[in-house]
Chains A and B, each alone.
Chain A
Amino acid sequence: MSTAAQWEVRLDVAAFAAIEPEIGEFLSRQGVAGRAAYVSNLVIEEIVRNLIAHTPPYADEETITVALTVTTRMVTVVIEDERPPFNPFEGPELDVEAPLEQRRPGGMGLHLVRNLADDLTYENSSQRNRLIARVSRQ
Chain B
Amino acid sequence: MLQATQRTDGITQVALVGRLDVSGLHEVDIKFHGATAARAQPAIIDLTGLDYIASLGMGMLISCAQSLRRKGHSMVLVGAKGDVDTALRSAGIDQAIPMAPDVDEALRVLGKA
Contacts and interface: CB of A to CB of B under 8 A. Distances in A.
B66 A100 contact: yes
A42 B55 CA distance: 9
Contacts of B87: 38, 42, 112, 116
A51 B94 CA distance: 27
Contacts of A112: 54-55, 87, 90-91
A45 B97 CA distance: 24
B22 A20 contact: yes
A90 interface: no
Interface residues of A, number: 33
Interface in B51-77: 52, 54-56, 58-60, 62-63, 65-66, 69
A17 B23 contact: yes
A36 to B, nearest CB: 10
B31 interface: no
A108 interface: yes
Interface of A: 13, 16-17, 20-21, 34-35, 38-39, 41-42, 45-46, 49, 94-101, 103-109, 111-112, 115-116
20 contacts: A13-B22, A17-B23, A17-B26, A20-B23, A34-B83, A42-B52, A94-B91, A96-B95, A98-B95, A99-B95, A100-B62, A100-B65, A100-B66, A100-B69, A103-B66, A103-B96, A105-B63, A108-B58, A108-B59, A109-B54
